[in-house]
Chain A
Amino acid sequence: MTTVKEQKTIQDQFKARMNEDELLNCMRCGFCLPACPTYIESGFKESHSPRGRIAMMKAVVDGLIEPDEDFERSLDLCLSCRACEAVCPSGVKYGELLEEARDIISQNKKYSLPTRIVRKAVFEGLFPHPNRMKNLTGLIGFYQRSGIQTIARKIGFLGLLPDSLTAMEKVLPKVATLKQLKNRPDYLPAIGEQTKRVAFFSGCLMDSMFLETNDATMKLLQLAGCEIVIPQTQTCCGALHGHYGEKTSSKDLAIRNIKAFEDLNVDFIITNAGGCGAFLVEYGHLFQDDPEWNDRAHAFSNKIQDISEILVAVKFHEKVRLELPFQIITYQDSCHLKNVMKTASAPRTLLKAIKGTEYREMYDADRCCGSAGIYNIIESENSMKMLDYKMVQTKNTQASTVVTANPGCLLQMKLGIEREGLASTMRGIHIVDLLLEAVKN
């Protein structure tokens, strides 16, 4: 509950801080409605559509409505998948409006104690600290390897956790050991003729829980002729903080990253997680009112590229023979990779280049899978509805391999496979892992 007094401050802050030009820029054409998963899932409720959310934000600014529970609920339910932005003729920067609105609400509202603790733990305690991430990963690894996992599963300990977490636990990847985590390279030479010099953004989650995927990414880059530098002072991209109204922390993280990647003299900074990449390409915006950091942030953002883009650009798929035993492959777009980084055809080009396999496009491949940061944990019910729809489309392709390009989506798709009882016939895999498999083959 937000008290009346809190509502009043939130309203004042809306007046002071929301970008009115951008709110007015929405011409209410409704073109974004069919692209919005929450609009469709809600049974066509305008209040759960982008046009509705923008209208509500504007109405709060205009004093027509209070930032009441209905309003907050509507914003909470938004996946920030940004599919609405990709189709908007007016180019309304919905993502920016949403982040600002969420920031205003979270800064001016007292959350309940448990929520406060979780938020603090996640946003301040964990993500900004690569070492703690590694330790957590170590802990999960210990849990998995020690046999506790098996026992816990047997005695139903997990039944005590909320459903969403229980389900999540099943699909967590086999994580690396602490030792593996500590010996990370900071430089790798190109294999063969050098094409580019790049930096690798290893990401906090990617470099702890998805270590193998990061290794695969670097291997592919090397094979593509890239010399790679991996600055050790880099940190979490700050996307989660940004999306959940913790703007200040996300800026701190951004500054650390900008510093870490400056002066490396590289052509590109490569990411392999759509969610992070999308936030990194928007650092420029994050510092738009900050003359000290603005240029540096833009310079950083301009270099961000997804791994699949650079692989296609250097014609990796034509130069290296990619082959796998017969399987039907389908691809689930990462919303942020597609809608913000505008990378959609490169991954498909790469997948189609794998000999011996068949690529089948799934219907609505670019509809959000419901993962959306930590949405699948905090809005579990809705998230599972989105996932169910996604699984219907996935099954229709008869694919045995579902490819994604973002860790959140990957976990979600694995969860979908698990929920459908398809684990024996279908697998979820990150695109770079599949490509490396195809190289080795």
Chain B
Amino acid sequence: MLSNVVKDKIIAIVTKENYEDSKTERLVYSYDSTPNLQAMPDAVVSPRNTEEISKILKICNEFNVPIVPRGSGTNLCGGTCPVEGGIVLLLKHMYKILEIDEENLTITVQPGVITLDLMKAVEAKGLFYPPDPGSMKISTIAGNISENAGGLRGLKYGVTRDYVIGLEVVLPNGDIIRTGGKLAKDVAGYDLTRLMVGSEGTLGVITEATLKLLPMPETKKTMLALYSDLESAAKTVSKIIANKIIPITLEFLDQPTIKVVEAHAKIGLPTDAKAVLLIEQDGPPEVVERDIEKIIKICKEQNAVSVQVASTEAEAESLRTARRTALSALARLKPTTILEDATVPRSEIARMVNAINDIAKKYKLEICTFGHAGDGNLHPTCPTDARNHEEMERVENAFAEIFDKAIEFGGTITGEHGVGVMKAPYLEWKLGKEGVAAMKAIKQSFDPNNIMNPGKVFAKQTRKRVVITK
């Protein structure tokens, strides 16, 4: 528990209503979306503005109290789980859209604004904010920035990082800094904006963000292609890109996933198909038309069993259902759903998926793989039961092998879910000792007392193992 001194000081800043430390209130901030991980904070504080946050951080820095910034707690890496106790700093009350600048094509928002609300506000003005994480209905923009979230449109439009151009950040010592701004070009000094993106709440608290916007693309077309072998589907992906077409979306489902999706949603997918690709392109009508035609041709050359192109929005929606319902379908199979995040170069997708299927067989598990084929970001997902310790052990070993393979194929341990607690033991394995040391030096200079989200990103010990079982 926090000392009374700290408690009183913080209450003096945020008032009693915004300070909770009853057991029940602490319990509901002891978890995020990460499976099987839970730790109690000592208190939950809901500030309303940057000044309050600055004061809180000063106190925490002085008294060595860990601070865990929290948006909606939808991250899958344990990022908001207060593993070392301390204060959960809830940013949901700072949810205002401050400005949409149509001349400079930017939007400036507070950290707690919900991603979808931001997108809607922008779209109402004919503008476009491309990053669309699957959790966008509830994730916050600061959560997206801190995890550098990606989405279905990542292939063509990149990830959150590519849109953050300015930030206001409170540093652990309470200093308030501004990085970047509305400028498209800005090379003055180190790029602290980029440094903050993906820093998972370990360097400071984001209190404002300026994001780049694009004009809304004129049209969009959606298609679905089915394959009777995995290699052809994977080849299609590389061929499309080799033909200098970059679709917005190039999503993939493997056979185990197709079976589960069909059983759940009954949308008429052939369960003997080995792979499904969901492809979308946007832009001016002539370009979209031309690209889609070329893509259809490539799909057919690569022996697609069937190619469906939606002619209405309703049809497009039903084609998207195949990919959209993947998680729901899997989540309903067993009580615990472990959704992972391995990324390989696009050219290695078929090898990777085959490897995952072999590993699943070896460990007698059901592992379904779906994800962003266009950028090689796969989500091998295992429905299991956390109470079955023996099975969890197998799941853990299987995922260790999967990540091993990902790295062997030139990939990485996380494409979009972040490091947090879950991948921390792997970091060195991916970056090497020197890489981690460079990152630690940055952390040290920003946060010498290690109060910002301790226990995340950097693990106490390195091991080649996922920490699903504690």
Hey, which bits of chain A sit against chain B, CB under 8 A?
Answer: 20-21, 24-25, 27-31, 33-34, 43-44, 46-47, 49, 51-52, 55-56, 59, 64-66, 68, 70-71, 74, 89-91
Using known A-B contacts A30-B135, A31-B137, A89-B328, determine if residue A56 contacts B32 with beta carbons closer than 8 Å.
Answer: no
Q: Which residues of A are found within 8 Å of B92, using beta-carbon distances?
A: 44
CB contact between B27 and one of A20, A44, A55 (< 8 Å): that residue: A55
Judge if B74 is at the interface, Cβ distance under 8 Å: yes
What is the minimal beta-carbon distance from A367 to any residue of chain B, in angstroms? 15
What is the minimal beta-carbon distance from A348 to any residue of chain B, in angstroms? 16
What is the minimal beta-carbon distance from A35 to any residue of chain B, in angstroms? 9
Judge if B336 is at the interface, Cβ distance under 8 Å: yes
Name which of B17-25, B124-132, B270-278, B301-309 contacts chain A: B17-25
Q: Which residues of A are found within 8 Å of B385, using beta-carbon distances?
A: 24
Expressed in whole angstroms, the Cα–Cα distance for A66 and B72 within the complex equals 25
Chain A residue at minimal CB-CB distance from B326: A89
Chain A residue at minimal CB-CB distance from B335: A24
CB contact between A24 and one of B22, B33, B93, B336 (< 8 Å): that residue: B336
Judge if B176 is at the interface, Cβ distance under 8 Å: no
Chain A residue at minimal CB-CB distance from B385: A24
Q: Which residues of A are found within 8 Å of B335, using beta-carbon distances?
A: 21, 24-25
Expressed in whole angstroms, the Cα–Cα distance for A166 and B25 within the complex equals 35
User: Does A46 lie within 8 Å of B331, measured CB to CB?
Assistant: no
User: Does A43 lie within 8 Å of B93, measured CB to CB?
Assistant: yes
Contact with A along B108-127 (1 / 0, CB 8 A): 00000010000000000000
Expressed in whole angstroms, the Cα–Cα distance for A90 and B35 within the complex equals 13
Hey, which bits of chain B sit against chain A, CB under 8 A?
Answer: 22-25, 27-35, 72-74, 90, 92-93, 114, 135, 137-138, 327-328, 331-332, 335-337, 385-387
User: Does B27 lie within 8 Å of A65, measured CB to CB?
Assistant: yes
User: Does A71 lie within 8 Å of B24, measured CB to CB?
Assistant: yes
Expressed in whole angstroms, the Cα–Cα distance for A34 and B337 within the complex equals 22
Residue among B28, B34, B74, B137 facing the most chain A CB atoms (10 A cut-off)? B28
Expressed in whole angstroms, the Cα–Cα distance for A24 and B331 within the complex equals 11
Expressed in whole angstroms, the Cα–Cα distance for A33 and B112 within the complex equals 14
User: Does B336 lie within 8 Å of A34, measured CB to CB?
Assistant: no
Chain A residue at minimal CB-CB distance from B24: A70
Given known contacts A33-B72, A56-B24, what 17 new A-B pairs fall within 8 Å (CB)?
A: A20-B387, A27-B336, A28-B31, A28-B34, A28-B73, A31-B138, A34-B137, A34-B138, A51-B28, A55-B27, A55-B28, A56-B28, A65-B23, A68-B24, A70-B23, A74-B24, A91-B331
Using known A-B contacts A24-B387, A70-B22, A70-B24, determine if residue A30 contacts B332 with beta carbons closer than 8 Å.
Answer: no
Q: Which residues of A are found within 8 Å of B138, using beta-carbon distances?
A: 30-31, 33-34
Q: Which residues of A are found within 8 Å of B29, using beta-carbon distances?
A: 46
Expressed in whole angstroms, the Cα–Cα distance for A44 and B138 within the complex equals 11
Expressed in whole angstroms, the Cα–Cα distance for A70 and B74 within the complex equals 24
Chain A residue at minimal CB-CB distance from B34: A28
User: Does A89 lie within 8 Å of B28, measured CB to CB?
Assistant: no
User: Does A27 lie within 8 Å of B135, measured CB to CB?
Assistant: no
Q: Which residues of B are found within 8 Å of A33, using beta-carbon distances?
A: 72, 138
Expressed in whole angstroms, the Cα–Cα distance for A64 and B24 within the complex equals 9
Chain A residue at minimal CB-CB distance from B88: A46
Chain A residue at minimal CB-CB distance from B325: A89
CB contact between B328 and one of A66, A74, A91 (< 8 Å): that residue: A91
Chain A residue at minimal CB-CB distance from B117: A34
User: Does B74 lie within 8 Å of A29, measured CB to CB?
Assistant: yes
Chain B residue at minimal CB-CB distance from A53: B28
Q: Which 10 A-B pairs have the closest CB atoms?
A: A24-B335, A70-B24, A89-B328, A52-B28, A46-B28, A90-B331, A44-B92, A30-B74, A47-B28, A30-B138
Expressed in whole angstroms, the Cα–Cα distance for A49 and B138 within the complex equals 13
CB contact between A89 and one of B24, B32, B35, B327 (< 8 Å): that residue: B327
What is the minimal beta-carbon distance from A316 to any residue of chain B, in angstroms? 25
CB contact between B332 and one of A34, A43, A64, A91 (< 8 Å): that residue: A91
16 contacts between A and B (CB under 8 A): A24-B336, A30-B74, A30-B138, A34-B138, A46-B29, A46-B73, A49-B28, A55-B28, A59-B27, A68-B22, A70-B22, A89-B328, A89-B331, A91-B328, A91-B331, A91-B332
Expressed in whole angstroms, the Cα–Cα distance for A111 and B92 within the complex equals 36
Q: Which residues of B are found within 8 Å of A56, using beta-carbon distances?
A: 24, 27-28
User: Does B33 lie within 8 Å of A30, measured CB to CB?
Assistant: yes
Q: Which residues of B are found within 8 Å of A31, using beta-carbon distances?
A: 135, 137-138
What is the minimal beta-carbon distance from B87 to any residue of chain A, in angstroms? 15
Expressed in whole angstroms, the Cα–Cα distance for A66 and B22 within the complex equals 11
Residue among B328, B331, B385 facing the most chain A CB atoms (10 A cut-off)? B331
Expressed in whole angstroms, the Cα–Cα distance for A91 and B90 within the complex equals 27
Expressed in whole angstroms, the Cα–Cα distance for A30 and B32 within the complex equals 8
What is the minimal beta-carbon distance from B74 to any residue of chain A, in angstroms? 5
Using known A-B contacts A47-B24, A74-B24, determine if residue A29 contacts B33 with beta carbons closer than 8 Å.
Answer: yes
Chain A residue at minimal CB-CB distance from B31: A28
Using known A-B contacts A89-B328, A89-B331, determine if residue A28 contacts B24 with beta carbons closer than 8 Å.
Answer: no
Q: Which residues of B are found within 8 Å of A30, using beta-carbon distances?
A: 33, 72-74, 135, 138
Q: Which residues of B are found within 8 Å of A20, using beta-carbon distances?
A: 387
Residue among A24, A28, A29, A51 facing the most chain B CB atoms (10 A cut-off)? A29
User: Does A29 lie within 8 Å of B28, measured CB to CB?
Assistant: no
Using known A-B contacts A30-B135, A74-B24, determine if residue A44 contacts B93 with beta carbons closer than 8 Å.
Answer: yes
Using known A-B contacts A24-B335, A44-B92, A89-B331, determine if residue A68 contacts B23 with beta carbons closer than 8 Å.
Answer: yes
Expressed in whole angstroms, the Cα–Cα distance for A400 and B163 within the complex equals 45
Q: Which residues of A are found within 8 Å of B32, using beta-carbon distances?
A: 28
Q: Which residues of A are found within 8 Å of B28, using beta-carbon distances?
A: 46-47, 49, 51-52, 55-56
User: Does A28 lie within 8 Å of B22, measured CB to CB?
Assistant: no
Expressed in whole angstroms, the Cα–Cα distance for A59 and B114 within the complex equals 28
What is the minimal beta-carbon distance from A89 to any residue of chain B, in angstroms? 4
